[in-house]
C-alpha cells in the first residue's frame, strides 16, 4: 500500500513526522482529503484538526491555522502552533477558553475582540480533541 510522508512543523520545531495512508484537514476553502499521488497544491488552513490515518488507526493533531503543502508523496503542514491530541493538557485548554470568554464579555475599549475570539476557537479545538469529541 502506498503511503505519504506527513510532517507537521511549528516555529518551535517538528510536532509530527510519520508515513500515513491518508491525511484530512480543513482548509479555508473547505475540507481536504489527501491520498498518495495527490496533485501538488498549497492551501491555507483553518483552526482545526489534522486527521492522519495510518496502520488501521487515526491520529489527531490540533493546529491553529497555517499552510498545507501537498506533493504526490509528501504532506507538510506549517502551523503557528500544533499539538498531538494525546499531548493536550485539558485543564490548560479549559483555562484558556475561560480566559478568552471573559475577555469577550469585557466590553471595554482595551479588549481586542478578534484576538479573544481566535483564542477561544483555538482552545475549543484543543478541548474537543483532548476529550475525543470529533
pLDDT tens by residue, 5-18: 999 999 999 999 99
The mean pLDDT of 77-90, rounded to a whole number, is 93
pLDDT tens by residue, 109-121: 666 888 888 899 9
Among 3.60.21.10, 3.30.1540.20, 1.20.1630.10, 2.60.15.10, what is the CATH number of 4-85?
Answer: 2.60.15.10
Q: What is residue 109's predicted lDDT score, i.e. its pLDDT?
A: 64
Domain boundaries, the chain: 4-85, 90-130
Q: How confident is the model at residue 134 (pLDDT cuts 50, 70, 90)?
A: low
CB atoms within 10 A of CB 43: 17
- Provide the b/e sequence for 46-62 (b: ≥16 CB within 10 Å): bbbbbbbbbeeeebbbb
pLDDT tens by residue, 41-79: 999 999 999 999 999 899 999 999 899 999 999 999 999
Q: What is residue 65's predicted lDDT score, i.e. its pLDDT?
A: 87
CATH number of 90-130: 1.20.5.440
Amino acid at each position: 500500500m502506498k503511503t505519504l510522508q506527513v510532517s507537521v512543523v511549528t516555529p518551535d520545531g517538528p510536532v509530527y513526522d510519520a508515513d500515513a495512508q491518508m491525511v484530512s484537514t480543513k482548509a479555508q476553502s473547505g475540507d481536504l482529503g489527501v491520498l498518495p499521488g495527490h496533485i501538488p497544491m498549497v492551501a491555507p488552513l483553518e483552526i482545526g484538526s489534522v486527521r492522519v490515518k495510518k496502520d488501521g488507526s487515526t491520529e489527531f493533531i490540533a493546529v491553529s491555522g497555517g499552510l498545507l503543502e501537498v506533493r504526490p508523496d509528501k504532506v507538510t503542514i506549517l502551523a503557528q502552533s500544533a499539538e498531538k491530541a494525546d499531548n493536550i493538557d485539558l485543564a490548560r485548554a479549559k483555562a484558556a477558553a475561560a480566559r478568552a470568554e471573559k475577555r469577550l464579555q469585557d466590553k471595554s475599549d482595551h479588549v481586542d475582540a478578534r484576538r479573544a475570539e481566535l483564542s477561544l476557537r483555538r482552545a475549543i479545538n484543543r478541548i474537543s480533541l483532548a476529550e475525543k469529541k470529533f
